[in-house]
A and B are shown apart, each in its own frame.
Chain A
Amino acid sequence: MKKTSHALGITLILILLLPWLLAAEETGNSIMQKVMDTQAATSSAMDIRLTLIDSNGEARERRIQTLSITENGLTNTITVFLSPASVKNTRFLTRERSDGNDDQWIYLPALGRVKRIAASEGNGSFMGSDFTYADMASTTYDTQEADHTLSGDAVLLDRQAYIVQSVPRIVSPYVKTITWVDKESFLPLRVEFYDKDTADPSKVLTTEEVALVDGRWLTRSITMRTLANNHSTRIEILQAKYDIPMNSGYFTTTFLETGRTQ
């Protein structure tokens, strides 16, 4: 009798807690939302080294610095190319408009002038790398942009990971992506990009190093590999700063032209 009442008690508790337990279970959408939240910031500054590595191991380096600031839900970004010499001091300004489109200007030091340009083609290569412009913006999709399905768990790089399949609802160069998301940091550890009508991924993004800095998880090194030609691009985050005060003068055409905020 005592056993029966004990079991009943446990059952009642479980019934009462069930909605809470169900709510705590991760879904594809909730995981990807956490991925986005983990990377969100009101401002960010990154010092980045890109290394382009061709199939026979020859490497070419590019160095860029980028600042972003988000105000009223709209993000402005300024990118400066530091090397190689052929693109040094090229500066690029993007301002997000409330209608979802971007305004973009470029400063080419060889011409010494600022020029307004159309938004970069999303699937065009960024500086000859394996990343497209869309990849550089984000390698995962917003929950409004894709249907995300949790398809399983795995261990990757000795870390527990969710496997989420994403099918974009927006115009995208890929028909689907599969993302391994670290259960602790909610950083993507691996992303497979699939083109139309292919069973194998066309590109694979691999995270090589993550770090916990000032309570925030950061990806420090990732590599995107194009499987068809075995060309790859490694991105190393030399420095990253988030939610820091930032001079709004950086996000102006005056800064593009002069390299000064005043």
Chain B
Amino acid sequence: MKRHSLRSHRWETKGFVSILLVLLLASLPLSAFDGFTDIFGPADEVAATGVSPQTPFAPSFGINGTVGFSIEGMRALDDSREIETAVGGGLEIDLSWRGSIVDAQAKLALQPTIDTPLQWVDIFKGLSVTSYFEGGRIEAGLLKKEWGSGDAVHVVDVLNAPDYRNGIVDDALAMKVAEPMVLTTATWKDAALEVVYKPMLVPMLTAEDPEHRWSMLTDAQAELFSVATVNQVTAAELSRFTNGQYGARLVGTFGPADLGLIYYNGFYTQPAYDLRAYYTSGGAIDIGFTRAQLFATEATVVTGAFTFMFEGGFWLSEDASASETETYNSKWVYLGAVGMLIPGTGAYASVTYHGQYILGFDETNPIDVDTIQANQSSDGKAYMNTLTAAVDIPLAREKVTVRLAGTYQIETKGYALLPSVSWSISDDLVLKVAGRLFGAVGDAPDSLFKTWAANDSLAVGIAYLF
């Protein structure tokens, strides 16, 4: 009931903003980047073959987006015979303005899918200004950026905190939180250097209610949190100057390979629980975050029909000696992937193997944050390895796309399967049916996927693209 009232209140606000956006949409010319207008002229003015005037640059405004509706059904947590439904879809809109040396972009969303109190991250998926200069550009605002070479799965993609409030969805960008940052990119012919500064710490987002169906807490943790006093980190603390983060990424092309080097000085985005006071004197549980530096490399190598992708790095924790229970340890991370077009089908398939190895892991200490996390995600082991595969199959001249994606966590035998079928009724109207299946194979230990086993769902939606 509480959930419904929250939604109702939010819809009043969203309805108002939606009307404003639709009015704005109707009153503006379309398309910021509109092709090679300096060569062909405006794209909506088709000139005679071979004859068109050279067109000077003119600022332009663009709107793209989707408006849609979806309904997702899943079993009720308290009674598996009942079906709960969640309404999704809504309005997503990309506004862009293109000037001679400045671009501005706003990615806004009005979606009823997140059933926690409405936060700015749910509306602003991006809000940035980019200024161009000779040999580079500088971007500032709320941004989503992707570092790494992998196919949607990464181990060195550190600039945005993940968002697990709606579990796992088959859209890597949707699972990122747009973060405030300033990013400068200097480019040469086949190389680019990015330097980034993030003024505040944005933690990973999870369902806060331990009873929530997408809670990432194990039953034991949920029970503990329901009785203990938990000292959360406040927004003011997260915004402290000392929580600033920075990094750099150098990428370049060398023959058939794209190579990159990464340095990042930031935080592990998952919270670390300090349980010492609770277990020694019944005191409060403090939540903190661990600062760490990432030294990493990435590569994409193309050979024939195959694309090989690699990422590898070392996270050097502030607790380099692995002596503190309330901070995460240093660790190695690695990823290898291969993608290819399947001959004669037009289908693209990729397989990714990725994992981590925690240094100084102490499995005998139950209040060490590394042990707690390992119990949740890798059967209490220092190492965690996961296999992810996906295949996209276009059918009926790309009117229909079948996508099968799945991930298997080797230590816990946990899996997530995300099949979907999209049908383009017309070029701008798409019907989509998607499923989410979670669970674990056989007599498996606790894991996130096992925790979410009751969250299997089927969603049907329709979206209009503009």
Contact = CB atoms under 8 A, between A and B. Distances in A.
B9 interface: no
A107 B294 CA distance: 27
Interface stretch (B75-83, B279-287, B337-345, B356-364): B337-345
A124 B346 contact: yes
Contact of A239 (B52, B133, B306): B52
B213 interface: no
A23 interface: no
Given A52-B397, A128-B397, A116 B258 contact: yes
Interface in A124-181: 124-125, 127-129
Interface string B164-191: 0000000011000000000000010110
A80 interface: yes
Given A52-B397, A86-B430, A128-B398, A116 B132 contact: no
B89 to A, nearest CB: 17
B291 to A, nearest CB: 27
B307 A47 contact: no
Given A47-B35, A103-B253, 20 more contacts: A45-B40, A82-B34, A84-B427, A86-B424, A112-B145, A113-B146, A116-B253, A116-B300, A118-B307, A119-B305, A121-B341, A124-B346, A125-B398, A128-B398, A211-B49, A216-B50, A239-B49, A239-B50, A254-B192, A262-B133
A47 B40 contact: yes
B173 A112 contact: yes
B346 A121 contact: yes
Nearest to B398: A128
Interface stretch (A7-15, A30-38, A59-67): A59-67
Contacts of A116: 253, 258, 300, 302, 307
A70 to B, nearest CB: 17
Given A67-B39, A213-B50, A238-B49, A252 B189 contact: yes
Nearest to B98: A259
Given A118-B340, A125-B397, A240 B35 contact: no
Interface string B99-110: 001000000000
Contacts of A183: none
Contact of B427 (A85, A111, A260): A85
Interface string A43-87: 001010000101000001101010100000000000010111110
Interface in B229-266: 253, 255-256, 258
A262 B43 contact: no
A241 B38 CA distance: 13
Contacts of B31: 88
B397 to A, nearest CB: 4
Given A84-B427, A103-B253, A112-B146, A238 B302 contact: no
27 contacts: A60-B426, A60-B427, A61-B427, A63-B43, A65-B35, A65-B36, A82-B35, A86-B427, A101-B256, A111-B172, A111-B173, A112-B145, A116-B302, A118-B302, A118-B303, A118-B306, A121-B346, A124-B346, A211-B49, A218-B49, A231-B397, A238-B46, A239-B50, A241-B50, A252-B190, A262-B101, A262-B132
A230 interface: no
B394 interface: yes
A52 B305 CA distance: 27
Report the 6 A-B pairs with minimum CB-CB distance, sorted nearest first.
A84-B427, A128-B398, A128-B397, A213-B50, A85-B465, A259-B33
A240 B50 contact: yes
A52 B31 CA distance: 23
A101 B302 CA distance: 11
B51 interface: yes
A88 B64 contact: yes
Contact of A45 (B39, B189, B258): B39
A127 B398 contact: yes
Interface residues of A, number: 60
Interface in B284-309: 300, 302-307
A244 interface: yes
Contacts of A237: 49
Nearest to A242: B50
Residue of A220, A250, A258 contacting most chain B CB atoms (<10 Å)? A258
Contacts of B50: 213-214, 216, 218, 239-241
Contacts of A16: none
B420 to A, nearest CB: 15
Interface in B1-58: 31, 33-36, 39-40, 43, 46-52
Contacts of B255: 97
Contacts of B443: none
B399 interface: yes
Nearest to A85: B465
A111 B173 CA distance: 7
Interface string A223-262: 0000000010000011111001010001011100011101
B306 A86 contact: no
Contacts of A119: 302, 305
A110 interface: yes
A108 B144 CA distance: 14
